Chains A and B, each alone.
Chain A
Amino acid sequence: MTLTHPQVAAAPVSPAAEPLLSVTGLTVSYAPPKKAASLGTGAALTEASLQVRPGEIVGIVGETGSGKTTLARATVGLVRPVAGTIEFAGQDIGGLRGRALREFRRSGQVQLVFQDPLRSLDPDLTVADLVREPLDIAGTLSREEKAQRVRESLELVGLDPASTLGRRPRQLSGGQRQRVSLARSISTRPRLLFCDEPVSALDVSNRNLVLTLLDRLRTELDLAVVIIAHDLSSLAGIADRVAVFYRSRVVEEGPIRAVLQDPAHPYTALLTASAPSVAPHHGLRPVDLRVAAGEDRGAWTTPAACVFAARCRFAHDACLEQPTLAPLENHDRSAACHVAGEWTTHLDSQEIA
C-alpha cells in the first residue's frame, strides 16, 4: 500500500490579480476585565495583515487564542477593530457603521461558516428554511427565485434536494450537516467565504469530503475562501497560501507548500514537526525545537519581546524586541522573526551569538 496521492494542478490564481480582501495592520482588542489583570491585556489581534484573491484558498493555522477567530469576526463585521483597515473589493468595511454596516452584512457578500453545525444551525428549522434564510435577509430575490437558488445550492454541495429539503439538522449525519451549513453560506452567492474550523468536528473521511467541496466551490463560484484549520496536511492538499498566527500576530505567511516544507519561523517549524502522520516520521521532531525543560524563560516574557521568544529555542538578545512581518529574500513569503530562515543553521548549537 502506497501513500502517494495524485498531484493536482495548482489553482488558476494569477498572483497579479487584485486582492478581494485586503486586511492591513488590523488590531482588535477586547476590553480587559476590571479585576484579574492576569487574564491578559485584551489584545486579540495585533497588526495583522492578510490578502485573499478571488478563486484563492488561504489557510489560517495557529493555536487556540491566537486571533484566528477574531480575524474572522472582524472581517464579517462582528467586532470593531481598534486600528487598521479591512478592504473588501476596494471598500473599507472596517469603518462601516450603523445602516451601512447592516446593509453590507445583509448583502451576504461575505459569509462565515462555523465549526459545529449542530450548534450553529437552528434545530427547529428544516434544511429548506436554513438555506433560504440568508436570502430572506438579503431580500433581493422573488419567492420562486429563492426556491430555485436553495435547490441549486444544495446540489452544489452534493446533497439531493428532494430527500434533504424537509429534514432537520438532527436527522442528518455530521458530514451532511456541515454541507448544509455550506449550502446556507453560499446561497447568497458570496464573493468571500470565511470558514472558522469547518472540519475540526468531523472525522477524517468527512473532513476530506468538506475540504474537497470547498476546493470545487471556489472554482465553480469564483469564491475567495479562508479556512481556519488544525489539520495541516489536509489543508495543504487544497490551499494556496497559509498564514500562521501566534499570540495575536501573523508570524509567517506565504505559499502553503513552501511554508510547511521549509518553515522560516521556528513556530511554524514546531507546528509541522508536531503534526501527526501515519507515515514514518522524518525530519525535525518537536523535541528538537522546544526549549529544554526547566530552562528559565522569564527574561523573554516582557511585553516588548517577540511573542514566541519564551518558547523559542533560538531566542537571543535581539528577540527582546518584537520583529515585524518582513518579506524574505527571493521569496513570495514573509516572516516575523530575527532569525527567519536561518535558525536551521543554529539547530546543533546551544546559543546564538
Chain B
Amino acid sequence: MSLREHERTLEVSALQVSVGDHLVAVQDVSFEIRAGESVGLVGESGSGKTLTCRAVLGLLPASGHVDAGRIVLGRGADEVDLTAARRTTWDEVRGVRLGAVFQDPASYLNPAITVGHQLSEQLRVKRGLGRSEAHARSVELFTEVGLHDPEGVYHQYPHQLSGGMLQRVLIAIAVSCEPELLIADEATTALDVVIQAEILELLRRLRDDHRLSLLLVTHDLAVVAESCDRILVMYGGEIVESGPTADVLGDPQHPYTQALMKVATIGTWERRALEVIPGQPPAAGERMPGCRFAPRCAYATERCTAGPVPLTSLDEDRAARCVLVEDAVARPLVEVSA
C-alpha cells in the first residue's frame, strides 16, 4: 500500500460540487489515480462525470462551486492541493502537470492561428523554449501523435484539418509539457469508429511511453472496456461502483452497472431487441433520501429509499453503493460470529 500511495498522481476525496442555487450535483466522490494508470469515469449525461473532471481542472462553470472535499495532485514534494488553488498555482499546474482534451476539438483552437503556432506558443510560454526549438519540438510532437506530414500540418489552420486530426493536435498540445495526468472528457464521442479506435490507441501508447495517468470520461462502457485499468461508474452525482475493468464488466455488482452493460455496445451484428434503461435519471440537485437509482431499479425495496446508501468495499479495489451488496458483504461476517 505504501508503494501505491507513493505513486499516486491524483487523489479526490469526499468531493461535493454544487451548481446554480445550491443544487448539489456531485456528492461524496472519492477516487485516486496512480501513476501510469488509466481510469474510466462512466455515466449517463447529467451523472456529474463532467462536473467532477471540471472540478479537478478548476474549470467549473461560473455557477459551479466546490462545497467540500479535497483534490490533491502529485505526492511528496510535488504535492499540490487544488481545492482552493490560486490563479498562480493553476498557471503552474494547468497545461503543465494537468492536460485535458474535450469532445469538440475545433472549439478549443483559435481559428485564426495555425495549429503549429498554437502548439509552439504553449512550449514557449510554459517551457521557455526559443522560437526554433519550439518549432522543432512541435513537429516532433505532431509526429508522435500520428499526424502525417507534420511539417505541413504545422502551417495549417484548424478549418483545414478533419475532426480526428484536430483531436490529435489537441492531444499534442495537452501532452506537450509532459503532464502527470491527462483528462479526456468524451474526447472520442464525436469521431467515427475508425478514428475513435485510433485515438484510443494513441492515448494508450502515450500512457505506456510517458507513464502518463489517464482519466477517460465517457457515457459508453464499450469505450473504456479496452482502454482502462479501472472503472468508476457514476449515477446521479455519486460513484455507484468502482473496480478493475475486467471485474466490473465481468461481474457488475450495482444494478445500474448491470443495466449499463445491457445497453452497451456489444460486438455482435445480430438483429435483436435493443435494451433500454426505463425511466429518467434524477435532475441535478434533486433531493433523494436513499439510493438515487431506486426509482429505475428492478430490485428496489423500501430499504433502498429509507436512508443514504454507503459505498460498500467488496475487496481491496472494488466497491459498490447498493443495499444488496451491503447484505452480501455482511452475511459471511454474521456466520463467522455465530
Chain A residues within CB distance 8 Å of chain B: 1, 3, 5-8, 10, 38-39, 62-65, 173-174, 200, 203-209, 211-212, 230-234, 236-238, 256-257, 260-261, 270-279, 281, 286-287, 293
Contacts and interface: CB of A to CB of B under 8 A. Distances in A.
Categorize the interface residue count of chain B.
35 or more
B324 interface: no
B266 interface: yes
B178 to A, nearest CB: 23
Contacts of B163: 64
Interface of B: 44-45, 146, 160, 162-163, 190-198, 200-201, 219-223, 225-226, 249-252, 258-261, 263-277, 280
A233 B219 contact: no
B317 to A, nearest CB: 19
B10 to A, nearest CB: 25
B149 to A, nearest CB: 11
A6 B194 contact: no
Contact of B273 (A207, A233, A237, A270): A237
Given A276-B222, A279-B268, 9 more contacts: A3-B268, A10-B271, A39-B160, A173-B280, A204-B221, A233-B267, A275-B193, A279-B267, A281-B267
Contacts of B250: 1
B266 A279 contact: yes
Chain B binding surface SS class? loop
A3 B225 CA distance: 14
A208 B192 contact: no
A283 to B, nearest CB: 8
B269 A260 contact: yes
Contacts of B280: 173
5 contacts: A236-B268, A275-B193, A277-B265, A279-B266, A281-B267
Top 6 closest A-B pairs, CB basis?
A: A277-B267, A274-B197, A208-B274, A276-B222, A260-B269, A5-B272
B274 A237 contact: yes
Contacts of A203: 44-45, 219-220
B273 A212 contact: yes
Given A276-B222, A276-B225, A7 B264 contact: no
Contact of A205 (B271, B273, B277): B277
A216 B266 CA distance: 22
Contact of A6 (B223, B269, B273, B277): B273
Contacts of A209: 274, 276
B9 to A, nearest CB: 25
B261 A274 contact: no
A8 B160 contact: no
Contacts of B219: 203-204
A260 B196 CA distance: 18
A277 B224 CA distance: 9
A278 B271 contact: no
A8 B271 CA distance: 6
A236 B225 contact: no
B223 A7 contact: no
A204 B220 contact: yes
B273 A278 contact: no
A278 B45 contact: no
Contacts of B198: 274, 286
A345 to B, nearest CB: 22
Nearest to A11: B271
Contact of A274 (B190, B196, B225): B196
B271 A204 contact: no
A292 to B, nearest CB: 13
Contacts of B193: 230, 232, 271, 274-276
Contacts of A238: 271, 274
A141 to B, nearest CB: 33
B223 A276 contact: yes
Nearest to B156: A38
A159 to B, nearest CB: 13
